[in-house]
Chains A and B, each alone.
Chain A
Amino acid sequence: MITLRWSCPLCGHAFDPAAHSGCASCPLSRGCRIVCCPNCGHSSVDPSSSRLARWALGALDWVARSRPAPDRAAAASGPLPLSRGPRGRVRVVAVQDGRCDARERLRGYGIVAGVTLEVLQHRPAVVVRVEHTELALEDEVAAAVLVEARGSEV
């Protein structure tokens, strides 16, 4: 989950708007969207009270989750399914027996164990390059292909 780092626009003091309860005594505090900096007292709009901002945060979070961080994936030990693996050059470790002859179909395009692929994107479908042929695979098919990250060596 992405957390919001909030700092006062005036003095730069970083604080958590949700934790700030300095206005509790104010009769207008209910539904108030203004937050004051505990350091300098400058008041600004509290982003966590905005539905729009929360929605945007959620969306950013979804994007971040759907795009596997290359370093995290590469660091993970053992092979990963292509659908969740890293971008860039990967080596096919194994092609599992999927539904609907997935393995036969992949073989037709030269995706067999030992081959090097280049993963170009993950959404809305996984796009890989085998030699100079580009293929789009749905997650379900891509999940049957186990890959491990491969450095820049050819």
Chain B
Amino acid sequence: MAVCHSPPAAPPADGVRVVALVGHPNVGKSALFQRLTGRYVTVSNYPGTTIELSRGQARALPGVTILDTPGVATLPARSDDECVTSRVLLDAPLHAAVLVGDAKSPRRTLSLALRLAELGLPLVLVCNMADEAAARGVQLDHDRLAEALQVPVISTVATSGAGVAEVTAALAQAAPSPYVLRYPPDVEEILAQIAPLLAGASVAPRGLALLWLGGDPAARAWVAGHLPAAAQERLASIDAQLAGGRGAIVEQIERTRADAVERLAAQVVRSRGAPASGLGARISRLATHPVWGLPVFALVLLALYWFVGVFGAGTLVELLEEGLFGQIINPWVTELVRASVPLPLLADFLVGEYGLWTMGMTYALALLLPIVFTFFIAFGVLEDSGYLPRLAVLSNRAFRRLGLNGQAVLPMVLGLGCVTMATLTTRILERPRDRLLVTLLLALAVPCSAQLGVVLGMLASVSFAAMLIWAGVLALVLFTVGWLAARLLPGERVPLLVELPPLRLPRASNVLVKTLARLEWYIAEAVPLFLLGTAMLFVLDATGALPSLIRLGEPVVVGWLGLPADASAAFLIGFLRRDFGATGLFAMQSAGALSPRQVVVALVTLTLFVPCIASAAMIAKERGWRTAAGVVGLVFPLALLVGGLVNAALYLVGWNG
């Protein structure tokens, strides 16, 4: 677990008080963070949205920094993202921890509350989603709970801001809970041996000892990094003495905790409430139904295709590219530049065939922006609806063949948004092997939104059959490579266990804010690369190197893939960003230079093509340079191989539109 052993993030400066938001996945920590700090972080309706720490200044509390942590399903931590959270609890001396719980599931919240109370951190207990709990009739006796744990208990609805002011007020006077849970004698005996060794910790030694016993990687790393050698040896010998008996000890600890939670719940939970009913619950059943789940999925895909492919890549692009840019802006800019720039070469550089404005900016703003915009909206709606975890249930069987579980569908689907971000999300997977496999498949066969939009637009103008062929080939490659890779990377498969959040109607404000944030990020990242790629092409063209490069690629591009020689240029810029390359193909298709078969072959090849620079860098950051080089080295020839095979197959069956 690399995340646990890397050195801690910059320690807080003197006088800065740090408050961490901690809780189970998908309980609204990020929404609360946004309310407390006013800083934007992505909020979605599925577990695992937050994988790295976000920090921001509390608006109402000067000098207080708020940390948003990844959700913990279990503490002691087990996965990488949980580890990030347990490290926060141990490493930085926290001013307070805010336990964000789901008001609908008080027992789960209580269980985590006990664990945090044991760490001796000043604690504020927040029962979020109080509106949903009230709608289901769940009632909790706050006064009794506050009395039992001696910590403030507050109800909030983070999405609307209700109760947030009370959280701020409570933070000012948070104190450690005096609650102590007594364990069976043999556990207490071991704790009495370990706790004194951990006296230097910023948390209660007893709590840290319990985490260490539970095998929490962050607690183990803390011991390795902070304790003198003698104490470490002592701990190692205790560990060796326990050996196989540790499981039984952990089991006793957990049983004691479960009993305590049950006792506490019997006191404070006044009504369990009734299960949710109504449209949401019914759609939820349909979405995970073994038979009806597929039509629901098809419906979702169709809606996505219509909104992004037909409306975004069709209607909007036509309006912008042919209308606004083609007829109004570009002629005007061209005229202006030609009139005011004396050097023809410089004018060409700006508005020529490979001009910064006429190619780079027009591609980025007129062709890609509307597509990316519609995709981000559709994707935001999908994320907030809570449909994605249900897709994990539906696709579990397919991923089983790859030695993965349905949870892998999340990074894959997120990859449709941005492969770079999705590579980071692979952290929610538990095993390094799973993370590596999904990273490879992401880099290979999952097109990102920008590319997908262009591809959908191009295929939509050919025929639905073209779309099916493209999707079918990709799925085939995905599963063949996945299957082969799973054989080469043996390992125990982790069976699926995923939380299904309630289906919710997405809030327009959240979708809009999320879309704008992503759009800004897209422009900042893509436009410079588009300009760089254009400049590269211009230089190659001006020096006369482009024709010879195109000739160099001819045997492969023309002979093997059956494409026009000009397509080499599109593949060349595809090295920078695949969507840039796709846009080049889009322009060729618009000019009538590609037959339907060539469109399909070109798109299959480009979709499988090398990952963009940003995602290659992300792979290197998350998995190391060697892996990144391996992935690129594997993907590039494979893309050309598959493209050629598709070309040959389509030629043999005589398909051409």
A residues with CB within 8 A of B? 99-102, 104-110, 112-115, 118, 120-121, 123-125, 127, 129-141, 154
A131 to chain B, nearest CB (A): 4
A-B contact pairs, 23 of them (CB 8 A): A99-B495, A100-B430, A105-B73, A105-B78, A107-B74, A107-B258, A108-B73, A110-B107, A112-B254, A121-B289, A124-B288, A124-B394, A125-B288, A125-B406, A131-B107, A132-B104, A133-B108, A135-B497, A136-B392, A136-B393, A138-B405, A138-B406, A141-B495
A81 to chain B, nearest CB (A): 13
A136 lies within 8 A of B500 (CB): yes
Chain B residues lying within 8 Å of A140, measured Cβ to Cβ, are 495
Chain A residue, CB-CB nearest to B25: A108
B498 lies within 8 A of A132 (CB): no
Which residues of chain B from 53 to 71 have a CB within 8 Å of any chain A CB?
A: none
Q: How large is the interface on B (under 10, 10 to 19, 20 to 34, 35 or more residues)?
A: 35 or more
B486 to chain A, nearest CB (A): 16
Selecting from B271-279, B333-341, B445-453, the interface stretch reads B271-279
Known: A105-B73, A120-B285, A132-B275. A125 touches B107 (CB 8 A): no
Bound-complex Cα distance A109 to B258 (A): 12
Bound-complex Cα distance A139 to B495 (A): 8
B393 lies within 8 A of A125 (CB): yes
Chain A residue, CB-CB nearest to B392: A136
B288 lies within 8 A of A132 (CB): no
B128-150 vs A, CB cutoff 8 Å, 1 = contact: the mask equals 00001100101000000000000
A109 lies within 8 A of B108 (CB): yes
Bound-complex Cα distance A141 to B498 (A): 11
B406 to chain A, nearest CB (A): 8
A137 lies within 8 A of B499 (CB): no
Chain B residues lying within 8 Å of A109, measured Cβ to Cβ, are 73, 108, 497, 499
A63 to chain B, nearest CB (A): 9
Judged by a CB distance under 8 angstroms, whether B461 is at the interface is: no
Judged by a CB distance under 8 angstroms, whether B106 is at the interface is: yes
Chain B residues lying within 8 Å of A100, measured Cβ to Cβ, are 430, 492-495
Bound-complex Cα distance A106 to B495 (A): 12
B254 lies within 8 A of A107 (CB): yes
Which residue of B78, B111, B390 contacts A101 across the interface (Cβ within 8 Å)? Answer: B78
Chain B residue, CB-CB nearest to A114: B262
Chain B residues lying within 8 Å of A114, measured Cβ to Cβ, are 258, 262
Q: How many A-B contacts if CB must be within 8 Å? A: 121
A154 lies within 8 A of B74 (CB): no
Judged by a CB distance under 8 angstroms, whether B397 is at the interface is: yes
B101-134 vs A, CB cutoff 8 Å, 1 = contact: the mask equals 0101111100100000000000000000000110
Bound-complex Cα distance A61 to B362 (A): 60
A119 to chain B, nearest CB (A): 12
Known: A109-B499, A129-B275, A136-B392. 19 other contacts (CB 8 A): A99-B492, A100-B495, A105-B73, A106-B497, A107-B74, A107-B254, A108-B24, A108-B74, A120-B285, A124-B288, A131-B108, A132-B102, A132-B104, A132-B136, A133-B102, A134-B500, A135-B500, A138-B406, A141-B496
Known: A124-B394, A135-B497, A135-B500. A130 touches B492 (CB 8 A): no
Bound-complex Cα distance A38 to B262 (A): 67
A137 to chain B, nearest CB (A): 5
Chain B residues lying within 8 Å of A105, measured Cβ to Cβ, are 73-74, 78, 497
B490 to chain A, nearest CB (A): 15
Bound-complex Cα distance A115 to B265 (A): 12
Chain B residue, CB-CB nearest to A105: B497
Judged by a CB distance under 8 angstroms, whether B290 is at the interface is: yes
Chain B residues lying within 8 Å of A154, measured Cβ to Cβ, are 272
Which residue of B74, B102, B288 contacts A136 across the interface (Cβ within 8 Å)? Answer: B288
